[in-house]
Structure 1
Amino acid sequence: MSIDARLSELGITLPNAAAPVASYVPVVVHNDVAYISGQLPFIDGTLVTGTLGEDVSLERGTAAARACGLMILAQLVNAQIPLDRVARIVKLGAFVSSASSFSDQPKVANGASELMFDVFGESGRHARSAVGVPVLPLHAAVEVDAIIALHPA
């Protein structure tokens, strides 16, 4: 089954790829590895902002991480990389805007991780970091970046 068919089966429509907010490119491909810059969470076109453990619930944070994962896929498509070229999700890095007492960053990051498992199956299983930080760009609640191995073009 193609990845586009799998997305359709899951009822997933990718968002429009967000433009960079500073001086970088969203995707760099080198030696059949795609490096995806940190993606912010947009749900229904609105940036999810706030701090986990203060004004953002665990459920909202997990949904935000999933939205970051969707944006990672959207950035690949925007860079003219067909999702069927994905050989393996190698690593996700999740950054969670967190109150000092919040320690469920791995649960938040599961939003992006489980999306990759659902879409790519075993090829979606990956290494991961889940880090709590005091603030993220634009006061986003979550940011996720990725390293993705590609089948040769």
Structure 2
Amino acid sequence: MGNYETKLAEMGITLPDAPAPAANYVPYVQVGDILYVSGQISRNESGLLTGKLGADLDTAAGADAARSCAIALLAQVKAACGGDLDRLVRVVKLGGFVNSTPEFTEQPQVINGASDLLGEALGEAGKHARAAVSAASLPLGVAVEIEGVFQIK
């Protein structure tokens, strides 16, 4: 187990197998040392994390959903790196989409669930640029979807 996975284990997190694509796309594309990971939807061992922020879910529940997306992103990075998460150099950028009502304005606090996890697990390498935007709906009714750009070696 590498340094990053050891830190994740200390946080009580074991990376799942990388989720398979749900439609006609690939889970990631590598161009040089940059890895583009397709959007990962909110789910945990019990299934999909669904609902609309501002109606069905509060900000804390949304942040938990975003955290699950970050775990899936790291699982995809690990798969792309042949099982060695320590090949990750840094998180470059996240694009966060929050299934929310028109009145809901706490998208940044929701996506902090992912950003906080990456910062805690990866340290300096987890600091990233990002966007946090509202969506009228997301695939399968999930609460959050996050895509990522990573630098790997």
Q: Structures share a fold, TM > 0.5?
A: yes
| 2:72 is the alignment partner of 1:74 | no
CA distance in 2, matches of 1:102, 1:125: 26
CA distance in 1, matches of 2:37, 2:17: 15
Question: What corresponds to 1:128 in structure 2?
Answer: 130
Give every structure 1 segment of 4 or more consecutive aligned residues whose post-TM-superposition deviation is greater than 4 Å.
none
Question: What corresponds to 2:97 in structure 1?
Answer: 95
Note the aligned Cα RMSD (angstroms): 1.2
Question: What corresponds to 2:17 in structure 1?
Answer: 16
Determine which of 103, 106, 109 is the counterpart of 1:107. Answer: 109
> What secondary structure sits across from 2:39 in the alignment?
strand
TM-score, normalised with respect to structure 1: 0.94
Question: What corresponds to 2:55 in structure 1?
Answer: 54
Identity, in percent, stands at: 46
Determine which of 140, 143, 148 is the counterpart of 2:142. Answer: 140
> What secondary structure sits across from 1:76 in the alignment?
helix
Once the two structures are TM-superposed, the CA of residue 116 in structure 1 deviates from its matched residue by 0.7
Query: How many residues are paired up?
Result: 151
**CA deviation profile, 1:44-96 (whole Å, cap 9, x unmatched):** 23101111000012111100000000000111223325210111100001000
TM-score, normalised with respect to structure 2: 0.94
**CA deviation profile, 1:27-57 (whole Å, cap 9, x unmatched):** 1111011100000011223101111000012
Once the two structures are TM-superposed, the CA of residue 126 in structure 1 deviates from its matched residue by 0.3
Determine which of 103, 118, 121 is the counterpart of 1:119. Answer: 121
Question: What corresponds to 1:35 in structure 2?
Answer: 36
Once the two structures are TM-superposed, the CA of residue 98 in structure 1 deviates from its matched residue by 0.7
> What secondary structure sits across from 1:66 in the alignment?
helix
